[in-house]
Amino acid sequence: MELRALGGSGLRVSRMALGTMTWGGETDAEEAADQLVAFREAGGTLVDTADVYNDGACEEMLGTLLRDVVPREEIVLATKAVARRSEGPFGGGASRGALLTALEGSLRRLGTDHIDLWQLHAWDGSVPVEETLGAVDTALSSGKVRYVGVSNYTGWQLATAAQRQRTAGQANPIVSTQVEYSLLERGVEREVIAAAEHHGIGVLPWAPLGRGVLTGKYRSGTPSDSRGASSRYAAYVEHHRTERAARVVQAVSTAADGLGTSPLAVALAWVRDRPQVVAPVVGARDTGQLHGSLRAEEIVLPPEITSALDDISAIDFGYPERY
């Protein structure tokens, strides 16, 4: 698998990341181990998790697998710090106390002495950005974190955080931003992508398959074994089951037929090769589904197909983006 630099840093990661949101919940240890081995054998290095996934069980499972199945040193380990507000003296969210406590918890569950990429899961407007990023500076200087990123930040939030790190003289600034980005969700192109490019920040798209809709599995109904049929994830998938999405899915399927590949591979290759994108974060129900995503590594979309997909999925730009 091709490696790419993460933002303006010296860290190089595989151009596909393995997402683990269901590990420790819907995905058991045996299946998780199979996925991790398949991903690593394909040349994948970047594995993404978060402290809130299944209340920490995801990190615990991944930590066990990095001791028993795949060597820790072969993986670029990325996790995210809790974004939810909570009761208690530190209030949760992105306060200094909450973040540094969350970091210690992640290190313990993952069974490691450092996180390769530590990401702030969301902006917390109730805490001064200086306090939040001061905690990040402490984590970096302690050696417990090697690189830092953010997640779900708007364009102005990303630019504010990046500029603060720059003016503070931080030698290891924000290197990545993880946002939803796919043929069905292109809103980040209005401002987030521009902010990332300006500040030399790499983009890690989550839900690059439009929450599963771009695979075409929902074209004629809701498969009983799909997330769309799950009470937990039905609303999550339904968000992209629209008339516009149906037109985009049809175009992706037509392109896949012409290229002799799957709609999944076409949708993933499209987002993988967008400006500033470093590595889409791909989760899978099982190893077979993961292998389908890994086959996208073999696909290079012809310019005419990329252009057609750009057109069918285009979003409106107005003032001030096109002013």
| Whole-number Å distance between alpha carbons of 280 and 296 | 11
| Whole-number Å distance between alpha carbons of 126 and 123 | 9
Q: What is the dihedral of CA 249, 255, 258, 263, to 10 degrees?
A: -50
What are the Cα distances from residue 106, in Å, to 54, 123, 254? 13, 19, 43
| Whole-number Å distance between alpha carbons of 35 and 283 | 10
Q: Known catalytic residue: 323?
A: no
Token pair listed for 70: 């795949």
Residue with tokens 């998780």: 32
Q: Is 255 exposed, middle or buried (0-12, 13-18, 19+ CB in 10 A)?
A: buried
Three-state SS string over 118-132 comes to EEECCCCCCCCHHHH
Q: Which of 44, 54, 56, 47 is nearest to 19 (CA)?
A: 47
Active-site choice (53, 153, 181, 218): 53
Helix/strand/coil for 177: strand
Cβ atoms of 263 and 252 within 8 Å: the answer is yes
Cβ atoms of 206 and 192 within 8 Å: the answer is no
Helix/strand/coil for 258: helix
Token pair listed for 156: 């102005």
| Whole-number Å distance between alpha carbons of 299 and 295 | 7
User: Residue 115 belongs to what H/E stretch?
Assistant: strand 115-120
Q: Which residues are catalytic?
A: 53
